Amino acid sequence: MPTGSQSEKPLRNSLRLHKVTTFMTEEKTNPSWTGSRELHGQGTILSKFDFPKDERALGGAYRVDENAELLQRYFLFERLLLRAQAGWLMGTPEFEVKVEYGRHIYYHSEAAMKLRTRLTELRSTEDIVDSFTSPEIEEVFRELISAESPAHFLAGVYGVLLPHLISAYTIHTQTTDQVADAPTIRILKQILSDYTEMYLWGKEALDAYVRGGYDGANIVFSQMHLEQVLNSFGGVTGRTERSDKPAQLRSSTESPFQRSFIATRDPRFTTFEHTYEYKIADKGKIVYNTVFDETALNLIRSQRDELDAIETFSNVLYEIRDVPFGFDYDIARIIYDETRHTELGHKALQELGYDPFDLANRLLGIKVRTKMPAEYSFAEINLFGEANIVQEVLRHSREAYSMGDELNGKLFDYVNADERTHLSKGIRWLKYIFKTDSVQEITQKTKDIAIKRLLELGIIDHEVALTISHKELAKIIGE
Ligand SMILES: [Fe+2]
Ligand SMILES: [Fe+2]
């Protein structure tokens, strides 16, 4: 029997041979990079390397935990800010301000979402971010929201909170580790670009309030008061020098803030609430050449009158608490869309040669919804209003396109696209809030409550209440 060592010899030799041949073939098919001309790529081999210098220094002001602590505070400021603006939306009568709040609520929700996502990269979780509270930050928002007028509230948001947030975010981008924490710097810079737009608008809006008749000195006094509350707990970061708290807080001396239950309108508007029919409200003053013209004007007016949709969703956002931030984010986006629908309607009326304020504003839907519990007003506008309008606007868009009316075609094309997303987002959150998968169950409960409100307001009688269909109800109080 051959020994093991004898039998292994030829095997070892053959292995060595294999290695050498493999290396030689690799050299041919896969030549060494080091030392080759190809290593320097195609083109000229440079003799100088004067590229832009990366001046970013390492070693910022915050460790990961400190950074997360600050971003968590910024998140809460953004979330409470959008909820405060939602709380004041119904009670702010001025058209331009109401519409702009609708846009800015969404900007703040985007800022909060970016901060939340970054926090999950800094060892936090969405649940931790969403459930964070701070009695001090909440106090400043109670003080802000307890403003004596829409102008004072606007002055607090745009003249006090926004500048403080701009300053905190700017300092954060300059002092955090420029390389290790670059993702935070990037999101804060994106947020700051929205803030520039919001701040500049707010400054002009405040001037407009003062030019319109508000006492500027009184407004400045209220801003100083709010600033003092903010500084008493170290400002946005909680890290600046603390000053004394004002002796009296508005929120502790006056009755707690309540959002307006009236959908306020500035005096440029004429309004009606006894019917949903524009034709009845106009008392035949508008003459239409064709059925298409009548449908077009009615639908355009409905869009402008979606001021009540901005308001309904703002009330929903303000009143429904204990929900994940994803709820705020989706509702804020719907508010922004309804803002655009209102603007589209307003501008389309101008295109048609009207002064939009000359066409009476319909208040019936919001009058019904304003006193419904928030989850039902949400269900009502979504399952009745939006579900009803989505097909109607698509039909109108197609008809307009076929008649060569590009303006109406595109307007309602986009509105349809938006409303489809509202339906799907809305239904998802309604199921979450009502804790059921049955849309039918939510619809039935909502119908009962809406009918009760219509009876209370004397819009329908008991006989109609017994037989009213889903479609008829949607028409009366729809979006
Ligand atoms: Fe809409
Ligand atoms: Fe909608």
**pLDDT, average across residues 373-384:** 95
State yes or no: pLDDT of 419 exceeds 70: yes
Per-residue three-class SS string for the chain:
CCCHHHHHHHHHHHHHHHHHHHHHHHHHHCCCCCCCCHHHCCCCCCCCCCCCCCCCCCCCCCCHHHHHHHHHHHHHHHHHHHHHHHHHHCCCCCHHHHHHHHHHHHHHHHHHHHHHHHHHCCCCCHHHHHHCCCHHHHHHHHHHHCCCCHHHHHHHHHHHHHHHHHHHHHHHHHHCCCCCCHHHHHHHHHHHHHHHHHHHHHHHHHHHHHHCCCCHHHHHHHHHHHHHHHHHCCCCCCCCCCCCCCCCCHHHHCCCCCCCCCCCCCCCCCEECCCCCHHHHHCCCCCCCCHHHHHHHHHHHHHHCCHHHHHHHHHHHHHCCCCCHHHHHHHHHHHHHHHHHHHHHHHHHHHCCCCHHHCCEECHHHHHHCCCCHHHHHHHHHHHHHHHHHHHHHHHHHHHHHCCCHHHHHHHHHHHHHHHHHHHHHHHHHHHHHCCCCHHHHHHHHHHHHHHHHHHCCCCCHHHHHHCCHHHHHHHHCC
Kindly give the distance from the C-alpha atom of residue 260 to the centroid of ligand 2, in angstroms, as a whole number.
Answer: 21
Q: How far apart are CA 214 and CA 152, in angstroms?
A: 9
pLDDT of residue 340: 98
Kindly give the distance from the C-alpha atom of residue 344 to the centroid of ligand 2, in angstroms, as a whole number.
Answer: 13
Kindly give the distance from the C-alpha atom of residue 335 to the centroid of ligand 2, in angstroms, as a whole number.
Answer: 8
Kindly give the distance from the C-alpha atom of residue 422 to the centroid of ligand 2, in angstroms, as a whole number.
Answer: 5
Phi and psi angles of residue 237, each rounded to the nearest 5 degrees, phi first? -80, -20
Kindly give the distance from the C-alpha atom of residue 162 to the centroid of ligand 2, in angstroms, as a whole number.
Answer: 29
Instruction: Tell me the pLDDT tens digit for each residue of 118-135.
Output: 999 999 999 999 999 999
**pLDDT, average across residues 186-196:** 98
pLDDT of residue 12: 57
Q: Which residue has the tokens 């479609």?
A: 471
Ligand lying nearest the CA atom of residue 330? 2
Instruction: Tell me the pLDDT tens digit for each residue of 250-298.
Output: 988 878 999 999 999 999 999 999 889 999 999 989 999 999 999 999 9
Where does the pLDDT of residue 3 fall: very low under 50, low under 70, confident under 90, or very high at 90 and above? Answer: very low
pLDDT of residue 476: 81
pLDDT of residue 2: 41
**What is the maximum span of the chain, computed from C-alpha positions, in angstroms?**
119
pLDDT of residue 6: 45
Kindly give the distance from the C-alpha atom of residue 418 to the centroid of ligand 1, in angstroms, as a whole number.
Answer: 7
**pLDDT, average across residues 321-336:** 97
pLDDT of residue 198: 98
Tokens at 24, concatenated:
């030689």
Q: Are 184 and 71 in contact (CB under 8 A)?
A: yes
Residues with CB under 5 A from ligand 2 (ion): 386, 419, 422
Where does the pLDDT of residue 25 fall: very low under 50, low under 70, confident under 90, or very high at 90 and above? Answer: low
Kindly give the distance from the C-alpha atom of residue 375 to the centroid of ligand 2, in angstroms, as a whole number.
Answer: 16
pLDDT of residue 29: 80
Q: What domains appear along the chain, each with residue ranges and CATH number?
A: 64-239 (1.20.1260.10), 272-477 (1.20.1260.10)
CA proximity to 471, closest of 385, 376, 412: 385
Percentage of residues in the chain having pLDDT higher than 70 = 94
Instruction: Tell me the pLDDT tens digit for each residue of 57-81.
Output: 999 999 999 999 999 999 999 999 9
Give the type of residue at 139. Answer: E
**pLDDT, average across residues 70-97:** 98
pTM summary value:
0.92
pLDDT of residue 11: 54
Kindly give the distance from the C-alpha atom of residue 334 to the centroid of ligand 2, in angstroms, as a whole number.
Answer: 6
Where does the pLDDT of residue 1 fall: very low under 50, low under 70, confident under 90, or very high at 90 and above? Answer: very low
Residue scoring higher pLDDT (388 or 323):
323
State yes or no: pLDDT of 436 exceeds 70: yes
Kindly give the distance from the C-alpha atom of residue 186 to the centroid of ligand 1, in angstroms, as a whole number.
Answer: 33
Q: Are 343 and 282 in contact (CB under 8 A)?
A: no
CA proximity to 396, closest of 294, 307, 309, 269: 294
**pLDDT, average across residues 420-441:** 97
Kindly give the distance from the C-alpha atom of residue 394 to the centroid of ligand 1, in angstroms, as a whole number.
Answer: 13
Q: How far apart are CA 171 and CA 33, in angstroms?
A: 46
Instruction: Tell me the pLDDT tens digit for each residue of 459-468.
Output: 889 998 989 8
Give the type of residue at 321. Answer: R
CA proximity to 424, closest of 397, 386, 395: 386
Q: Is 134 exposed, middle or buried (0-12, 13-18, 19+ CB in 10 A)?
A: middle
Kindly give the distance from the C-alpha atom of residue 420 to the centroid of ligand 1, in angstroms, as a whole number.
Answer: 10
Q: How far apart are CA 195 and CA 163, in angstroms?
A: 9
State yes or no: pLDDT of 21 exceeds 70: no
